[in-house]
Amino acid sequence: MSESCCESSCGCGNNIPEHKMCMQTQPTNFNVGKVMKLTSNPKYFCKCCGRTANEKENLCNPTKLISEDK
């Protein structure tokens, strides 16, 4: 895997866990069904790469999305 912001500044290094979105969206691991399930109702986004996910555990540097409905 080539160096990305998740590898260099989020602390995952070369050991990015399989459940992280930056690993799930790599061409060699991409499974559209799994990615759709993990992003169907996003509540968090990664401050490193901008990816979204339903659960913060699936992101390297998560922050809660703010709803405009409030």
Q: Where are the domains of the chain?
A: 5-64
3-state secondary structure 26-54: CCCCCCHHHHHHHCCCCCEEECCCCCEEC
Q: Please state, in angstroms and rounded to a whole number, the distance separating the CA atoms of residues 19 and 39.
A: 12
pLDDT digits (tens, 9 = 90+) for 2-22: 445 555 556 565 667 777 887
**22-35 tens-digit pLDDT:** 777 788 878 899 89
pTM score, whole prediction: 0.70
Measuring CA to CA, how many Å separate 66 from each of 4, 15, 22, 25, 69?
26, 30, 22, 24, 9
